[in-house]
């Protein structure tokens, strides 16, 4: 078995673990810092809205050997210094986008491009895009996002509980905010492909979160009937048991998306791939982070405010204090007794770092056995 597989098995059994829930204040601070940076970038730089949202003209040229810089310079001169975006197409042509341009302004640009390429004007494909079409796309996207979040909250509240629904919703908002903020900081163009990518990452963001919540729901049954460990410790154990699976799933999903972003969009210059690949790449990474460091610790925070869980935590601390005192004095009677269902023996281990389960010695060992040598 590989080292990663061995580590996954040890995490699942509870032989090793990391205290994610116990150190949740650190993760909250990191997330708040990243979110504030994203919001500031969005407020200062704003989003580079594509032509589908701002309106303008799109010119597509036939195959040409003219460089993109020359075409950009020619288009800017003919367009009176409008913002010009030039992209290389796979078949050797060029795509020139100029925002906020009408029909009368587009004709001089078309003629200038035709002259530069030494072709007739009808060889330059010209399309005018109105801003109303982009507004309709944005409106539908916001509606779809709102409906999706409402359905998610309802489903999680029914399948699990309202605390998990709230935590999952906060994690989703966290992921979307970070993704949009990075788009503003990087300056990538926002197109309908970007909107599709943003809506796609929501499902990925919820996947690992729901897996951890499902394990946590099973592990916390009859939790108040024992005195060995708190809800936060159970949540941390459930998170550790699915940690390697979450990492593997995220890495496998990021590999093809990273190839689209860095190889297709970067090295090969296929700028149109950046629209959807950046949102997917950032969203997948943010979703994996939020499911581990945000969603589950938030559930533990909300659950620990429940009076029953407060009473449980008090009993666990009292039992551990008594056990420590008994161990110091050599009196083992305080450690004896039935503490409820044997979920996991975490009483003697630090929160989140659970060792191997200790098997109690049989109290009837040797009773009823005849003396003398066994035959």
**pLDDT tens digit sequence for 55-106:** 788 888 888 778 888 888 888 888 876 778 787 776 678 888 887 777 778 8
Match 């909107």 to its residue by tokens.
195
| Residue 196 banded pLDDT, cuts 50, 70, 90 | confident
Q: Which spans in the chain are helix H?
A: 3-13, 24-44, 51-54, 68-78, 103-117, 131-159, 162-186, 192-219, 231-241, 243-258, 274-290, 296-303, 307-329
Q: Tell me, what's the pLDDT at 347?
A: 36
Pairing of strands 94-99, 125-129: unpaired
Q: Tell me, what's the pLDDT at 343?
A: 47
Closest CA to 128 of 159, 107, 150: 107
pTM over cut 0.75? no
Closest CA to 279 of 222, 218, 200: 200
Match 């709102």 to its residue by tokens.
146
As a whole-number percent, the residues of the chain with pLDDT over 90 amount to 10
Instruction: Pull the structure tokens for residue 310.
Output: 């407060």
Mean pLDDT across 42-57: 81
List pLDDT tens digits, range 266-290. Answer: 555 555 566 778 888 888 888 888 8
Q: Is the pLDDT of residue 2 over 80?
A: no
59 bridge partner residues:
96, 126
State the Cα–Cα distance between residues 173 and 256, nearest whole angstrom. Answer: 25
Q: Tell me, what's the pLDDT at 9?
A: 59
Q: Is the pLDDT of residue 128 over 90?
A: no
Residue scoring higher pLDDT (174 or 264): 174
Q: Tell me, what's the pLDDT at 299?
A: 92
Average pLDDT, the chain: 78
Query: Cβ(347)–Cβ(16) under 8 Å?
Result: no
Complete DSSP assignment for 179-235:
HHHHHHHHTPEE-HHHHHHHHHHHHHHHHHHHHHHHHHHHHTTTGGG-SS--HHHHH
In angstroms, the Cα distances linking 22 to 26, 189, 320, 351 are: 9, 40, 17, 7
99 bridge partner residues:
56
Termini Cα distance of the chain:
43
Count CB neighbours of 100 within 10 A.
14
Match 């908002």 to its residue by tokens.
173
Q: Is the pLDDT of residue 357 over 50?
A: no
Q: Tell me, what's the pLDDT at 216?
A: 87
Mean pLDDT across 210-216: 86
What is the set of domains in the chain, with CATH numbers? 3-49+133-303 (1.20.1640.10), 56-129 (3.30.70.260)
């Amino acid at each position: 078995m590989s080292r990663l597989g061995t580590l996954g098995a040890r995490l699942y059994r509870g032989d090793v673990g990391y205290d994610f829930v116990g150190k949740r204040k650190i993760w909250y601070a990191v997330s708040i810092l990243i979110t504030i940076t994203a919001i500031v970038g969005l407020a200062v730089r704003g989003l580079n809205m594509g032509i589908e949202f701002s309106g303008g003209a799109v010119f597509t040229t036939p195959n040409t050997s003219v460089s993109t810089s020359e075409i950009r310079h020619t288009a800017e001169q003919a367009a009176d210094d409008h913002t010009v975006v030039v992209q290389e197409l796979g078949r050797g042509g060029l795509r020139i986008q100029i925002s906020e341009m009408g029909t009368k302004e587009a004709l001089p640009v078309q003629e200038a491009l035709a002259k530069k390429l030494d072709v007739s004007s009808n060889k330059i494909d010209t399309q005018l895009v109105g801003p109303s079409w982009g507004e309709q796309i944005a409106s539908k996207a916001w509606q779809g996002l709102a409906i999706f979040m409402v359905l998610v909250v309802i489903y999680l509240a029914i399948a699990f509980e309202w605390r998990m629904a709230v935590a999952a919703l906060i994690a989703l908002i966290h992921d979307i905010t970070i993704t949009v903020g990075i788009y503003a900081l990087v300056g990538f163009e926002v197109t309908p492909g970007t909107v599709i990518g943003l809506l796609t990452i929501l499902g990925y963001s919820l996947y690992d979160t729901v897996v951890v919540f499902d394990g946590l729901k099973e592990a916390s049954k009859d939790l108040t009937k024992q005195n060995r460990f708190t809800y936060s410790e159970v949540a941390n154990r459930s998170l550790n048991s699915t940690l390697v699976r979450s990492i593997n799933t995220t890495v496998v999903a990021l590999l093809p998306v990273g190839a689209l972003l860095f190889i297709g969009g970067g090295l090969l210059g296929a700028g149109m791939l950046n629209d959807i690949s950046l949102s997917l790449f950032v969203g997948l990474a943010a979703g994996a982070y939020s499911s581990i460091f945000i969603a589950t610790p938030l559930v533990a925070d909300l659950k620990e405010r429940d009076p029953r869980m407060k009473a449980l935590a008090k009993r666990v601390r009292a039992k551990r204090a008594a056990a420590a005192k008994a161990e110091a004095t050599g009196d083992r009677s305080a450690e004896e007794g039935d503490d409820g269902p044997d979920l996991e023996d975490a009483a003697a281990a630090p929160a989140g770092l659970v060792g191997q389960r200790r098997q109690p010695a049989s109290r009837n060992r040797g009773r009823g056995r005849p003396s003398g040598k066994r035959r």
